Amino acid sequence: MANIPFVDLKAQYQRIKPEIDAAITEVVDNTAFIGGQKLRDLETAFAEFCTTSHAIGVGNGTDALMVALKAMGIEKGDEVITTPHTFIATSESITHVGAKLVFVDIDPQTYNIDPAKIEAAITDKTKAIVPVHLYGQMADMDAIMAIADAHNLLVLEDAAQAVGANYKGKKAGSIGHMGTFSFYPGKNLGAYGDAGMIVTNNEGYAKFSKMYANHGRLTKYEHEFEAVNSRLDGLQAAILGAKLPHITTWNNERRQVAAWYNDLLTPLGDIVQLPHELPNSEAVYHLYVIQLPERDALLTKLKDNGISGGIHYPVPLHEQPAYQYMGHKPEDFPITHAAANRIVSLPMFPEMTHAQCERVAAVVADHVKAKG
């Protein structure tokens, strides 16, 4: 019996191989390796996809966050609120621009930042909120934007895992003042290397981001300020441009896989906590994450049965060595801490079959029965 991978990038490539190969060949034939028409086409198409006025390609998702924060004027002495249950790229982008990191605990059902706990963290130095649309599920943006408006704060959506997700009919990245995406290969829309994107409806933010990611310039030899080199290269732009027309289909297929998992795992009852979608929203299931007791034993059992699982994320940011200086205890963010010890990410990719989902679910059921 064939193993079940956590993701299957080769299967995706085989589905659209002629399109990918043709896009790469065109870039090589034209030797358009930095910038060029493929990047311009991608930025135009991605802005349209996200229903925003502007999209700016950058080198990776981490740079996208940092450049966006710079564009919004976040600097030393400012405080920025975000979640401790995310990848470190979110938090290190905040500290890299000199701002102070402020954590707020998560909602126990969605794993996203809990809006009800944000206001208590706001001070006169707070300048922005960075909600993370984790696992492909958008945060409760109406509540977050209401808080931001009341306190005159900026909102940067970290949509690295949520390309194509929507909240009450609005696309990820289009609700806050800016949004950022990662095109790391394993993402729903993945490059064949590092790549990222910034989206916004603010022309000033867009212009600054474009310049800051390219040495502070718009023309070749005139630099208005010192900046960084974070360009989305022509090859990655071509690959992403070939993939973008398929992303809605792939996301719908992920939702079908999630529905199969839900049907198969619901009989296990309250022992297994399944993903929760906010009303009138549509998650895109970058990851399918469950909670249950003795998670590590399940991971071992999955591996023994030729199934790859994962944990996103086993060590919360406030418990990381990098942030010991903040002086947090694990119990400072109890929901995050508890979830980190119980969550498991099951295999999730568009090409998964119902039979593969049945195999995974059977192992989960065996684990629950053995521990029950």
The per-residue pLDDT of the chain, averaged, comes to 97
74 and 151 both lie in a single domain: yes
Same domain membership, residue 322 and residue 186? no
Domain termination site, one of 209, 244, 279: 244
Do 210 and 263 have their domain in common?
Answer: no
Q: Dihedral, CA atoms, 313, 291, 190, 43, nearest 10 degrees?
A: -90
Please say whether the beta carbons of 90 and 132 come within 8 A: yes
| Boundary residue ending a domain (221, 244, 267) | 244
DSSP assigned state of 282: E
- Same domain, residue pair 25 and 159: yes
Residues 285 and 171 in one domain: no
- pLDDT tens digits, one per residue of 252-302: 999 999 999 999 999 999 999 999 999 999 999 999 999 999 999 999 999
Identify whether 20 is part of a domain.
yes
User: How high is the pLDDT of residue 371?
Assistant: 77
pLDDT given at position 219: 87
Whether residue 190 is found in the same domain as residue 86? yes
Residue 2 lies in a domain: no
Using the predicted structure, report yes or no on whether residue 335 has a pLDDT greater than 80: yes
| Full-model pTM | 0.98
Domain residue limits at 358: 247-371
Asked whether residue 1 is assigned to any structural domain, the reply reads no
Read off the CATH number of the domain in which 223 is found.
Answer: 3.40.640.10
Q: What is the pLDDT of residue 362?
A: 98
167 shares its domain with 255? no
Per-residue model confidence as pLDDT tens digits over 14-49:
999 999 999 999 999 999 999 899 999 999 999 999
pLDDT in tens, 196-238: 999 999 999 999 999 999 999 988 899 999 999 999 999 999 9
Please write down the long-range contacts of 20-27, taking CB distance under 8 Å and 24 or more positions apart.
Answer: 20/239, 20/242, 20/243, 22/242, 23/238, 23/239, 23/241, 23/242, 24/235, 24/238, 24/239, 26/238, 27/234, 27/235, 27/238
Report the alpha-carbon distance of residue 327 to residue 317 in Å, rounded: 12
Helix, strand, or coil here: 262? helix
Using alpha carbons, select from 190, 87, 180, 81 the residue that is nearest to residue 129: 81
How much of the chain exceeds pLDDT 70, in percent?
Answer: 100
Is the residue at 349 inside a domain?
Answer: yes
Residue 64 lies in a domain: yes
**57 φ/ψ angles, rounded to the nearest 5 degrees:** -75, 135
Residue 344, pLDDT score = 98
pLDDT at 372 over 80: no
Instruction: Supply the pLDDT for residue 220.
Output: 87
Whether 3 is covered by a domain: the verdict is no
